Structure 1
Amino acid sequence: MALVHPTHPLTTTSSPDPYALPPSFPSSISSPLAWTGADLADESYIYHLTPSDLSEIKDALAVFKSHNLNGDLATPTTFPLPTLGPKLRLLSHELYNGRGVCLIRGLTPEMYEPEEGMVVFMGVQSYMAGGKGRQDGRGNMIVHITPSEYDAKHSRHSMDSLPFHTEATGDILAWQTRAAAAEGGKCIVSSAYTAYNLLAATCPEVIHTLAKPDWPFAYPTLHYRPILYHTSPNLL
């Protein structure tokens, strides 16, 4: 039996359906970014540097060195690539508006001394994205992924495999492979858009959890926000 005050009508409340997607989140996202491994089987995401490209990179390095600048100041102005540069801009467009992944092949470690190789890397990537993100509290823009028994607690120096993850900052993650591991060492990429579409169709409650504004983030100071955002047409 329930007692109801005669002057107050009975009201009911309801909680959001955990099996319905949160507001503003679509049931699926149609985008070139929603790819599977089969879509990359033709290797169209790979750009092979031509002999002309390599010659232009060598000339650009000579120009950069003539300015006596630090490597982080390699830009399209200080590292000029008049012919290759527009090709790299197209690859950048593919990163932001296409499949979001590309691979450039043709530079080998023996072509340059280690420091020169890093300058070339910074110079080439300056055509892909305008800014460079900090990798640590000291402001380093590049970190080396190498095994270390003294700092194995950090994933970049550990021999253990890593689970799938995203980087905390930056739009684009750039890798320079200098040598292959004797064993293992595979790098696997996946589409966040494809993962979203699968979760939205089969486990929408996970989307609810990821979209809650209660996830702790440590940088720049402790704060809380969602892990997942959707601002049409982008998934963030």
Structure 2
Amino acid sequence: MADDRPEVQPVPLETACAWTAEDVADERLWTEHLSPGEIEELERAIAVARAKSDDFLQIGRADFPLPTLGPRLKRIEAELIDGRGFVRIRGLPRQWWSNDQMCLAYWGIGAHLGRPWPQNAKGHLLGDVTDQGKQPGDPTARGNELGQIPLDFHCDGSDLVGLLCLQTGASGGLSAVCNSVALHNRLVRERPDLAAELYRPQPYDYRGEQPPGGRDWYPMPVFTAYGGRLFVRLIRGYILASQRHADAPRLTERAIEALAWMQAEAESGRYSVIMDFQPGDMQFINNYHVLHGRTGYEDDRASGRVRHLKRLWLETEALSERPEQFRNRMGSHWAQRASISRLDAAT
């Protein structure tokens, strides 16, 4: 992609946040179990929130008091931003709680980790990851709408990304996370020319959700260094898809090679971990330090075994400064329709 600015001279960043698969092989390092007392605290918080409003959009941190779990969540947030970058929180009693209780507990926990961020042109602040009938070849399809197929490692569009498992499918659907800090630093050391290329803006396909009258793609670097921190936005499929638009800048040979390198190393298994989700599990990741994906899966609608996750995009208070392109644009055309998705995946 054409760019007249001087080439960036990349350097390794945030080495304390880099890890390999061997470093995180023990799932006890990244699995937090909710205690019976914390579950009771969540039940009380749900009652407080319901007394205020049935509308999740009216429920903030102050309306979901967690005097014990709240400080623990802040410690988890610190680990997400300045440490490993991902966590699985286990223990919400899915077998006893309704969908509404599960979603409200998740929304409230999210409020203690950050401010919600719109996820699509529908304005969903609480979204769904399940088979929504979209096909892989659909140029408007987003990953959260596609069922059955595996998803490549990628980033979403916020500081933190959260997933809550309401239901697993009949088989498969494991979650995968990969350390993008380690990938960045290795690329800088071994192929600084390719790393520098990914510091230049690349075109991303809007998937049909651009502002009214706006162009079909937007420019954004894969790597951004700011205040000594690394910010990553990598959605290889969207970058490649941008080339269907005649006015989108053409990808350079170096960009194509760099994207292929990132894809191959992310899938190598050297910097990733695969985890299962049980109903009631929550996963939160630092979107700038950890790529995520999933394995393929099968649903069985006849038995109700339909994979269904709820999703949050969150703006963390732990990052006091960030590049302009990574700000939560609550005034955007997506945010103007702020809403809660209440999709029933089993139907």
Indicate the residue corresponding to 2:151 in structure 1.
162
2:201–2:219 Cα contact (<8 Å) kept: yes
| Distance (Å, rounded) in 2 between the aligned partners of 1:97 and 1:30 | 8
1:132 aligns with 2:107: no
1:101 aligns with 2:86: yes
The answer to whether structure 1 residue 55 and structure 2 residue 11 are counterparts is no
**Which residues of 2 match residues 9-48 of structure 1 at below 5 A?**
22-23=8-9, 25-26=10-11, 28-42=12-26, 43-48=28-33
Structure 1 segment 129-208 matched on structure 2, within 5 A? 129=114, 131-148=115-132, 150-153=133-136, 154=141, 155-156=143-144, 157-167=146-156, 169-208=157-196
The residue that corresponds to 2:107 in the other structure is: 122
Instruction: Give the TM-score, by structure 2 length.
Output: 0.57
CA-atom RMSD in angstroms: 2.2
Partner of 1:9: none
Deviation, structure 1 residue 75: 2.2
**C-alpha separation in 2, matches of 1:228 and 1:66:** 44
Q: Deviations over 1:98-126 (max 9, x none)?
A: 21111111013223111221111000111
**Deviations for 1:119-158, whole angstroms, at most 9, x for unmatched residues?**
11000111111x111111121112222224x323433232
Matched, 1:75 2:56: no
CA contact (8 A) 2:32 2:87 kept: yes
Cα distance, 1:232 vs. partner? 3.9
Q: In terms of Rg, which structure is larger? A: 1
Say how many residue pairs are matched. Answer: 213
| Alpha-carbon distance in structure 2 between the residues aligned to 1:146 and 1:37 | 27
Contact 1:71 1:118 in 2 (8 A): no
Which residue in 1 is equivalent to 2:199?
Answer: 211
1:1-54 per-position Cα deviation (integer Å, ceiling 9, x unaligned): xxxxxxxxxxxxxxxxxxxx832x21x234332111222233222211000000
- For residues 108 and 152 of structure 1, do their structure 2 counterparts lie closer, same or farther at Cα, with a shift above 3 Å needed? farther
Paired with 2:202 and 2:44, the residues of 1 have a C-alpha distance of 51
**Deviation of the 1:217 alpha carbon:** 5.8
Distance 1:123 1:69, change over 3 A: same
Distance change in 2, residues 1:89/1:234 (3 Å):
same
Distance in structure 2 (CA, Å) of the matches to 1:125 and 1:82? 15
Question: 2:342 maps to what in 1?
Answer: none
CA distance in 2, matches of 1:40, 1:189: 11
Letter in 2 for 1:66: A
1:235 and 2:230 correspond: yes
- Distance in 1, matches of 2:14 and 2:205, equals 30
Q: Which amino acid aligns with 1:189?
A: V
Measured against aligned partners, the alpha-carbon deviations of 1:153-198 in whole angstroms (never above 9, x if no partner) come to 433232111111111x210000001222322211110111001122
Range that drifts further, 74-83 or 201-210: 201-210
**1:36 touches 1:194 (CA, 8 Å); kept in 2?**
yes
Distance 1:82 1:181, change over 3 A: same
Regions of 4+ moved over 3 Å:
216-223
TM-score by length of 1: 0.82
Displacement of 1:216: 4.3
Structure of greater relative contact order (alpha carbons < 8 Å, 6+ residues apart): 2
Gaps of 5+ in 2: 1-6, 232-347
More strand by share: 2
Cα distance in 1 for residues equivalent to 2:203 and 2:59:
36
- Please give the secondary structure, in 1, of the residue aligned with 2:166: coil
> Following the alignment from structure 1 to structure 2, what is the Cα–Cα distance between the partners of residues 227 and 196?
10
Deviations 1:209-231 (A, max 9, x none): 21123534645554433221112
Q: CA separation of 1:116/1:87 partners in 2, compared to 1, >3 Å: closer, same or farther?
A: same
